[in-house]
């Protein structure tokens, strides 16, 4: 992406922040060949993220699966913050004239105040009904799905948080030493989600799996070769 275009998009993010208010987080995610990152963010208190933070696991997966080739945007899917607040999220794909992804403009609405307000209104009438945030949010008909399972975006600021949002917690939190085949499976899960497109991913995986970076690269090579052999068929 040209620098002038990037500057215009950053200015646009701040413009939107000024008119949409404090309850909407607006994020510009920059997509570059060797580095994906948050280029601008307004109301980052909603997700706890800051400028230059890495992309979420869901964002990386959408990039790897080239969701932007199939549709111009996705809307009204569920997000969850680190303190377990529900977010209604939407993403618009910004592409080059050639159709390649250059950036993603994301809108994350904190719907928790509306849930609380709705519950208080019901309580005024002594109506015994629990208000669920997913009932207030629009139906997630436009959410990205994988094998019929709805994607949920977990907002994370660090690479470690992203790994733990992708890999099942019971696997990484196990007190039992992982076998090599289990480590390869974890690398495959992260590879399939596009995690290794993030700068610093290899060193973070090596730290969590307690192996060397060359070992991670070796596992990656095995995973990539397996994928290539399967694609032949």
Q: Is residue 130 in some structural domain?
A: no
Query: Is the pLDDT assigned to residue 130 strictly greater than 80?
Result: no
Instruction: Find the radius of gyration of the CA atoms of the chain.
Output: 19
Let me know whether 149 and 210 are in one domain. Answer: no
Let me know whether 218 and 176 are in one domain. Answer: yes
Q: CATH no. for residue 73?
A: 3.30.450.40
Q: Which residue matches tokens 């990205």?
A: 144
Structural domains counted in the chain? 2
Domain that holds residue 85: 3-111+142-156
- Tell me which of 52 and 114 has the higher pLDDT: 52
Q: What is the pLDDT of residue 167?
A: 85
Q: Is residue 44 in some structural domain?
A: yes
Task: Give the torsion sign (CA, 35, 41, 46, 49).
Answer: positive
Mean pLDDT within 55-84: 89
Let me know whether 177 and 146 are in one domain. Answer: no
Q: Is residue 131 in some structural domain?
A: no
Reported as a single tens digit per residue, the pLDDT across 147-190 is: 444 667 888 767 888 888 888 777 776 667 888 888 999 999 89
Mean pLDDT within 25-36: 92
Local confidence band at 91 (pLDDT 50, 70, 90 cut-offs)? very high
pTM for the model stands at 0.71
Question: Of 212, 106, 104, whose CA–CA distance to 155 is shortest?
Answer: 106
């Amino acid at each position: 992406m040209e620098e002038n275009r990037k500057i215009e998009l950053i200015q646009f993010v701040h413009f939107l922040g000024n008119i949409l208010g404090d309850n909407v987080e607006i994020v510009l995610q920059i997509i570059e060949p060797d580095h994906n990152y948050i280029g601008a963010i307004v109301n980052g208190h909603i997700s706890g993220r800051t400028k230059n933070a890495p992309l979420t696991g869901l964002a990386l997966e959408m990039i790897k699966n080239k969701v932007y080739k199939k549709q111009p945007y996705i809307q009204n899917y569920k997000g969850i913050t680190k303190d377990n607040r529900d977010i209604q999220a939407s993403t618009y794909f910004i592409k080059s004239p050639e159709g390649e992804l250059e950036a993603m403009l994301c809108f994350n609405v904190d719907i928790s105040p509306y849930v609380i307000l709705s519950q208080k209104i019901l309580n005024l009438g002594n109506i015994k009904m629990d208000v669920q945030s997913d009932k207030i949010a629009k139906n997630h008909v436009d959410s990205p799905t994988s094998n019929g399972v709805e994607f949920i975006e977990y907002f994370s600021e660090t690479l470690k948080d992203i790994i733990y949002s992708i890999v099942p917690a019971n696997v990484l939190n196990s007190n039992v030493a992982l076998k090599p085949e289990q480590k390869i499976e974890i690398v495959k899960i992260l590879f399939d989600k596009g995690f290794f497109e993030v700068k610093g991913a290899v060193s973070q995986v090596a730290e969590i799996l307690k192996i060397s970076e060359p070992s991670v690269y070796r596992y990656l090579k095995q995973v990539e070769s397996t994928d290539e052999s399967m694609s032949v068929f």
